[in-house]
Amino acid sequence: MKIKIEKVVYPGKALGRGEDGIATFVEGALPDETVEVDILKNKKSFKEARLVSIIEPSALRIAPECPSFSKCGGCTFQHLAYGDQIEIKTAYIDELLSASGLPGIDVTPSPDLWGYRNKMEFSFFDEGKGLMVGLHRKGEFNRYFPVPPCLICDKDMIPALDAVLDFARASGLPCYDKRDNSGFFRHLVLRKAKGTNQLLVNLVTGNREGITPEFFKPLVEKLQNTTASFYWSVNAGVSDAVMADRLILLSGAEAIEEKIKVKGRGYSFLISPFSFFQTNTKGAEILYELAVDFIEPQKTDTVLDLYCGTGTIGITLAPFVDKVTGIELSEAAVKDAEKNRGRNNAVNVSFESGAVEKWVKLADKPHFNAVVLDPPRSGITNKVIDYISELKPEKIVYVSCNPATLARDLQLLKTGPGYEPVKAAAVDMFPHTYHVETVVSLRKKMIQG
């Protein structure tokens, strides 16, 4: 059917309508375009479709920089000039958060438009043309598209990727096949510390009898001048997630060092193979400055940092407050956070390992007058809402990677504990994709009379 596109909505899909007037969502179309689509899901109130052809193109449409765009699943918006990407992201954040009573939200552009990603996860695959490495094809979870090119990853990653692929092909060993849990080469994870120019390579394989670290010696030697840390991870499970049953350091340091500057102060963070760190380093500096500004820190503040990860927000906040306590599910992340605390002499910061939802139910917890929330994409839970109702902190800062669940949680915080969002801002950490990070400041609603 033919549809006329009205706008682009979160998460990056175009909304249009045909003659029946039913909302139809399709990826790859732009506002004011008339397009032909195939209907994939036909519900009573909406339809989901696949773009077939563009009948009347938008004046906004441009030629993408990357020849893989529209086939590779890594990017969403390369057919838009960057300024237009920012306008679309601003519009759908405003629409999602309008019910919260927030004024128009500014989206700060990324300092780097290309090569900004400091972490990439690639998959090995073989679709009848020999061993390759790449990213998921757009809209598909069991098929891949080869890399290079990739214009959003750090430029130093591509030579490392080429070297690993050459080695894998020369070895004669096959890629992993999850259908029967066979094969060897599974994933390649590359991480770059932008502040120090250090590169970490993590080659993830299946389990194969007889393979020892000696097997990788030619690759280690080839990369020794450009790689600061080289790991071999063995994942014998069937899950497609990047994980390790065994983690072997083949050469170099246990971690690479990232350096950032927030509010004029320098910070150093260690990044190991499975550490969390924002994928856009320069964008992270802007994001953390917003978090510090929005908490309006005082030297008497005691801050609870929920879903603290490796402690980046808590540590950058530490110089401005009395105490920070971070809570994080991942034990590995907490170990990294402890190391980062020491590196930055953040003596007023402590970390505890455990599920946030369980921690908030513990008895005899200290009081905090400020809370930082940085949850996963699914947002916060009712248990956290209930805890905030009991705690009654003076101020809350919510850092979100998903404006849809953020909008839901702001309503819950407003109707439950009674916190009003007073200001918000966003940072485009992910140019050419639909993702965006949003920071919201909340304060206790004043009771009139």
CA gap 16, 60 in Å, rounded: 16
Catalytic residue (choose from 66, 153, 175, 401): 401
What DSSP string describes 15-38? EEE-TT--EEEESS--TT-EEEEE
CA gap 182, 172 in Å, rounded: 14
Closest CA to 165 of 193, 123, 214, 209: 123
Contact 203, 231 (CB under 8 A): yes
Catalytic annotation present for 66: no
CA gap 144, 159 in Å, rounded: 20
Look-up: residue for tokens 């150093």? 268
CA gap 86, 67 in Å, rounded: 22
Q: 241: which DSSP letter?
A: S
CA gap 22, 39 in Å, rounded: 12
Residue 34 has a CB neighbour count (10 Å cut-off) of 16
CA gap 203, 197 in Å, rounded: 20
Which of helix, strand or coil describes residue 372? Answer: strand
Query: Which element (helix H / strand E) includes 199?
Result: strand 198-205
CA gap 42, 182 in Å, rounded: 38
Please, what is the end-to-end C-alpha distance for the chain in angstroms? 58
Closest CA to 161 of 128, 117, 194: 117
- The residues, ordered by sequence, that sit 6+ positions from 380 with a Cβ below 8 Å of its Cβ are 306, 373, 409, 412
What DSSP string describes 243-298? --SEEEEEEE-SSEEEEEEETTEEEEEEE-TT----SBHHHHHHHHHHHHHHH---
Structure token pair of residue 20 = 């029946």
Catalytic residue numbers? Answer: 401
